[in-house]
Structure 1
Amino acid sequence: MTTDMFIGFGTVVNVVTVVGGAGLGVLVGHRLPPRTRELVTTTLGLFTLVLGARGVASGISEALGAAVGTDSRLLVVLGALLIGGIGGSLLQIEKRLDRGAELLHDRFASRTEGGRFVEGAVTSTLVFCVGPLSILGSLSDGLGHGAEQLLVKAVMDGFAAIAFASSFGIGVMAAALPLALYQGLLTLLGLALGNFLPAAQLDALGAAGGVILLGLGIRLMGVKQIPVGDLLPALVAAPAIVAIVGLFR
């Protein structure tokens, strides 16, 4: 399903919620009880599960069936996730993302005078930009599949901005610029992919992304800390597997 909004709409809304949430956090963020933030996160986790299930259902399409065989559609997605997950685990993508975020935070936030502003900007930028939903949502928006994933992320980031700004102050607003650049570039990448990848390969990518979203939803709900970052290579493996299978049909 697609939205009637323009491509890039999700990132625009995401930036607005960060700026608005930071402003609200400076004013009243300290009054928001932790249980409210936890409830919001759990609710967004549930909704992420819905988005993931829809992504899988739409990705297992007739176009994918025509390319790899009707009975092989799920096997292609499973193969992509296994290959991508093994590769991502061996490369330790999840750990590297976390470690890189920590290094950037320590370098820029703790060694600079006027640290509250800088720490707020750096910390919130890392939280808003380093994550599977930022990548999946931006690519989906660029591919023309709609901005729903980024709209969910926008709500999450808005509440996070309230919490960060209540501690770090107005510096959290500065995260809006790198967020716009990062997700904007990923959206343009999705737009480029949509212009030259066949429908079957795009659907396989979408189905693999849907499974990753399911894992993210489970993690947001606190059920299990699935290392979804390690599964991101499946987004590359899925179209590649479809292309390879297509050569032998």
Structure 2
Amino acid sequence: MIGPYINGAALFVGSIAGALVGPKLNSNLRLRMPMVFGCASMGLGVAMIVKVKFLAAVVLALVVGSFLGEIIELENLIQKAASSARKWIEVITRPSGDLSQEEFLDKFVVLLVLFCVSGTGVYGAMNEGMTGDPTLLIVKSILDIFTAAIFASTLGYSVALLVIPQFTVQALLYLGSAQIMPLTTPDMLGDFSACGGLIMLATGFRICGIKQFAVANMIPALLIVMPLSHLWCLYVG
């Protein structure tokens, strides 16, 4: 298992470096670079969407998954966890940025999705578990180290806390992929990638401030897209 360790190290190093040098960074840099990261997120999303096999099944999974996320108010639950994390981290150190609680929570939730449950990270961990190839997670790490540094310049050391859920999710997916992957088909993986790409696209819009999608509420779609894709192939496709 290489990719989850590299990705976790990149996030941690980027977060610490950004929090340390944050006050010294040019304000234009801190303002404009997140737009670049949002653009990169949208680009990755589009690249993943084109792998789709059964678009109708992916759209159905996204709608049903988002509906479930709205019912259980997943984003609100994550926001509460983020609020608790900020109170805990402020006992140790003061965040670098001067953000309101609402702004902090909004950015923290976006980063939680981007770093921990993005289609790239999930699929990358599963792919390495089966093939031993960590390339996708290494590519994600290159983007994450700079993303973490810029956002930590305003959010402070709290960004480093995301290493815990990120590594946990990727390690579990890596270890469980030996049981999951034999049950999948190339079409199911393509639809899974497309669903993750749509969530990445929504995440990019949110980072850029174009539209505030409730991206965390879309996460359940990743859990149901492959079963729906399989059923669609059997009975419709």
TM range (shorter): 0.7 to 0.9
Q: Aligned equivalents of 1:91 and 1:173: distance in 2?
A: 25
Paired residues of 1:44 and 1:156 also in contact (CA < 8 A): yes
Q: Out of 123, 135, 146, which is 2:136 matched to?
A: 146
Partner of 2:152: 161
Q: Out of 50, 56, 62, which is 1:81 matched to?
A: 62
Partner of 1:202: 189
- Residue 117 of structure 2 aligns to which amino acid in structure 1? I
Once the two structures are superposed, residues 191-219 of structure 1 have per-residue CA deviations (whole angstroms, 9 ceiling, x without a partner) of: 44334322221111111111111101111
Q: Percentage identity across aligned positions?
A: 19
Structure 1 residues 76, 207: closer, same or farther in 2, change over 3 A?
same
For structure 1, list consecutive stretches of 5 or more residues without a partner in the other structure.
1-6, 65-72
Partner of 1:4: none
Q: Out of 161, 164, 181, which is 2:167 matched to?
A: 181
Cα drift, residue 39 of structure 1: 0.9
Q: Aligned equivalents of 1:174 and 1:224: distance in 2?
A: 26
Partner of 2:49: 56
Cα drift, residue 159 of structure 1: 2.1
Give the secondary structure class of the aligned counterpart of 2:82: helix
Paired residues of 2:4 and 2:170 also in contact (CA < 8 A): no
Q: Out of 205, 220, 237, which is 1:233 matched to?
A: 220
Q: Aligned equivalents of 2:81 and 2:4: distance in 1?
A: 26
Q: Are residue 93 (structure 1) and residue 68 (structure 2) matched?
A: no
Paired residues of 1:94 and 1:230 also in contact (CA < 8 A): yes
Structure 1 residues 17, 196: closer, same or farther in 2, change over 3 A?
same
Q: Aligned equivalents of 2:93 and 2:76: distance in 1?
A: 27
Q: Of the two, which has the highest radius of gyration?
A: 1
Q: Are residue 37 (structure 1) and residue 19 (structure 2) matched?
A: no
Give the secondary structure class of the aligned counterpart of 2:168: helix
Structure 1's consecutive aligned runs of 4 or more residues displaced over 6 angstroms after TM superposition are 126-129
Q: Out of 12, 16, 20, which is 1:22 matched to?
A: 16
Partner of 1:217: 204
Q: Aligned equivalents of 2:221 and 2:2: distance in 1?
A: 24
- Residue 92 of structure 2 aligns to which amino acid in structure 1? R
Partner of 2:132: none
Cα drift, residue 152 of structure 1: 2.4
Q: Aligned equivalents of 1:49 and 1:134: distance in 2?
A: 17
Q: Out of 117, 128, 140, which is 1:135 matched to?
A: 117
Paired residues of 1:48 and 1:216 also in contact (CA < 8 A): yes
Cα drift, residue 95 of structure 1: 1.3
TM-score (norm 1): 0.72
Q: How many residues align?
A: 217
- Residue 97 of structure 1 aligns to which amino acid in structure 2? I
- Residue 101 of structure 1 aligns to which amino acid in structure 2? A
Q: Aligned equivalents of 2:202 and 2:94: distance in 1?
A: 32
CA RMSD, 1 decimal:
3.2
